[in-house]
């Protein structure tokens, strides 16, 4: 091992094992930690947060169904049984591939192997400035801000006499008809049916419109036609206004201008239209393609023997997926697991295996008793059974027994009481908070 570089600042004991630095404690990073053999490697995990976020349930935090703590798990808790795995809460701001270090605000860290697993962030498709009043839903603080914002608007609405202002406070527009958009629309529809009219008897909820806007001619583009159609049917059960073939033209925080000419007064525009790789500066341009890192079938970054990228940030073309893989948790889990196994094999001088994505199916839920499932064999189903399957799978993949239990209990409670107990404005989402969120978002925090 080369040892001529001194650690600057980040304090990790140097052993004679090669050090693997993992950037990101998401699905990919967690599965690498789990599989990578610490008899061969020292592992250092870096993340800007001290917790893992179970992103598939973020929308339930935003809609007052779950507490943040039930979908987040402290990373240190996950590694507490292994002394060869280190965690440092630090956002990597720069990769120094020649020096073999990463730079963070708390110092530099030397690696022998680097695994970039820092996931994705909200994609405004270059219109970041134009759509700056839109509300993203990709991290826990953003979900809490959204929850506060919606509740604050209702508290304002009860005190508003201007009818245009009132409609703009009540209306909610969701841009993006993928799983997040569909799930958040359904959850808001449920809130409007079961919770809000009891909380705000002074408001007329027929004045509250929820819009789901999608640029394509269908919903759930990554799923089957049947699933897309079922989603439309289910959303209509909750009185969601679905606008297909429609794009967002502009938004000033009060009024939504759509490509079909419609103007909707709304102070809440939820942006669920897409994500992009969370690229860290320091990578040569030739390994980047549309904000993702080009990797080979072993998740190795082109031209760097000791640098890997996995999950949402990685762009891997295989015979079966020439355009790359979907930016979804199962891909991250499978790539992370395989990469760890390959590194273990490498340490033993064994040959490595190329990545082959195993499609285990796709699913999305719309609300109580309603979900859609596409099975890997092409079979597609919906309704109550799909909804049970959705819950079961999400509980299974949720990290940690405590969180499984808490989420399960919450779901049971919410199902039978029709209640959402956490409609609290703990931290108001004010201008200052909005500015902070915006700055963090632009810098990828």
Residues at the interface with a copy of itself (CB under 8 A): 9-11, 49-51, 67-70, 72-74, 76-77, 80, 83, 86, 88-89, 106-107, 140-141, 144, 151-152, 155-156, 158-161, 198-202, 400, 402-403, 405-406, 409, 413, 417, 419, 421-427, 432, 436
Residues contacting 34, CB < 8 A, separation 6+: 337, 340
Shortest Å distance, C-beta 155 to a copy of itself: 4
The H or E element that residue 385 is part of is helix 383-397
Chain centroid offset of residue 72 CA: 12
What is the rounded distance in angstroms from the CA atom of residue 118 to the CA atom of residue 211?
Answer: 32
**Tokens representing residue 5 in the block:** 């570089």
Q: Do you know the residue count of the chain?
A: 445
Shortest Å distance, C-beta 336 to a copy of itself: 22
Q: Which is nearer to a copy of itself, 89 or 288 (CB)?
A: 89
Residues contacting 33, CB < 8 A, separation 6+: 22, 43, 45, 78, 79, 85, 340
Residue 120's nearest CA partner among 20, 24, 222 is 24
Shortest Å distance, C-beta 297 to a copy of itself: 36
Q: Which is nearer to a copy of itself, 88 or 230 (CB)?
A: 88
Q: Which is nearer to a copy of itself, 169 or 283 (CB)?
A: 169
Q: Which is nearer to a copy of itself, 51 or 111 (CB)?
A: 51
Q: Which is nearer to a copy of itself, 72 or 293 (CB)?
A: 72
Residues contacting 243, CB < 8 A, separation 6+: 211, 212, 213, 214, 258, 260, 262
Rounded to the nearest 10°, the torsion over CA 243, 248, 251, 257 is: -60
Shortest Å distance, C-beta 368 to a copy of itself: 18
User: Where would I find the H helices in 55-127?
Assistant: 58-62, 75-78
Q: Which is nearer to a copy of itself, 158 or 385 (CB)?
A: 158
**Tokens representing residue 34 in the block:** 């789990």
What is the rounded distance in angstroms from the CA atom of residue 374 to the CA atom of residue 338?
Answer: 25
Q: Which is nearer to a copy of itself, 74 or 274 (CB)?
A: 74
Shortest Å distance, C-beta 421 to a copy of itself: 5
The H or E element that residue 189 is part of is helix 179-190
Decide if 329 contacts 55 (C-beta within 8 A): yes
Q: Which is nearer to a copy of itself, 107 or 326 (CB)?
A: 107
Shortest Å distance, C-beta 397 to a copy of itself: 18
Rounded to the nearest 10°, the torsion over CA 218, 292, 132, 23 is: 120
The bridge status of strand 370-374 relative to strand 380-382 is antiparallel
Q: Which is nearer to a copy of itself, 112 or 433 (CB)?
A: 433
Shortest Å distance, C-beta 193 to a copy of itself: 15
Shortest Å distance, C-beta 273 to a copy of itself: 25
């Amino acid at each position: 091992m080369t040892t001529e570089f001194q650690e600057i600042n980040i304090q990790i004991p140097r052993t004679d094992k090669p050090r693997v630095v993992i950037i990101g404690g998401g699905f990919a990073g967690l599965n690498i930690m789990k599989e990578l053999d610490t008899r061969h490697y020292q592992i250092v995990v870096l993340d800007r947060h001290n917790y893992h976020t179970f992103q598939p349930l973020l929308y339930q935090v935003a809609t007052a169904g779950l507490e943040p703590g039930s979908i987040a798990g402290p990373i240190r808790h996950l590694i507490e049984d292994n002394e060869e795995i280190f965690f440092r809460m630090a956002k990597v701001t720069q990769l120094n591939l020649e020096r073999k270090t990463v730079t963070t605000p708390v110092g530099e860290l030397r690696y022998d192997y680097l695994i970039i697993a820092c996931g994705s962030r909200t994609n405004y498709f270059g219109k970041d400035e134009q759509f700056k009043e839109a509300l993203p839903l990709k991290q826990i603080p953003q979900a809490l801000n959204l929850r506060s914002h919606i509740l604050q608007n209702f508290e304002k609405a009860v005190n508003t006499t201007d009818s245009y202002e009132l409609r703009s406070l009540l209306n909610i527009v969701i841009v993006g008809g993928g799983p997040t958009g569909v799930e958040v629309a359904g959850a808001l529809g449920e809130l409007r049916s079961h919770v809000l009219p009891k909380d705000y008897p002074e408001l007329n909820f027929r004045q509250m419109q929820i819009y789901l806007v999608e640029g394509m001619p269908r919903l759930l583009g990554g799923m089957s036609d049947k699933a897309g159609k079922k989603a439309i049917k289910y959303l209509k059960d909750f009185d969601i206004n679905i606008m297909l073939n429609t794009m967002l033209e502009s938004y000033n925080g009060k009024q939504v201008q759509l490509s079909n000419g419609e103007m909707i007064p709304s102070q809440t525009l939820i942006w669920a239209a897409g994500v992009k790789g969370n690229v860290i500066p320091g990578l040569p341009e030739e390994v980047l393609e549309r904000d993702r890192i080009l990797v080979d079938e072993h998740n190795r970054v082109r031209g760097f023997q000791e640098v890997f990228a996995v999950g949402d940030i990685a762009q891997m073309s295989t015979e079966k997926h020439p355009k790359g893989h979907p930016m979804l948790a199962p891909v991250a889990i499978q790539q992370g697991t395989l990469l760890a196994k390959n590194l273990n094999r490498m340490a033993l001088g064994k040959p490595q295996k190329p990545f082959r994505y195993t499609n285990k199916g796709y699913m999305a839920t719309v609300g109580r008793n309603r979900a859609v499932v596409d099975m890997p064999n092409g079979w597609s189903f919906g309704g109550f059974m799909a909804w049970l399957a959705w819950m079961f799978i999400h509980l299974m993949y949720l990290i940690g027994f405590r969180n499984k239990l808490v989420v399960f209990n919450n779901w049971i409670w919410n199902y039978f009481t029709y209640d959402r107990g956490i409609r609290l404005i703990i931290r108001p989402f004010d201008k200052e908070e909005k500015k902070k969120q915006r700055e963090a978002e632009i810098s990828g925090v």
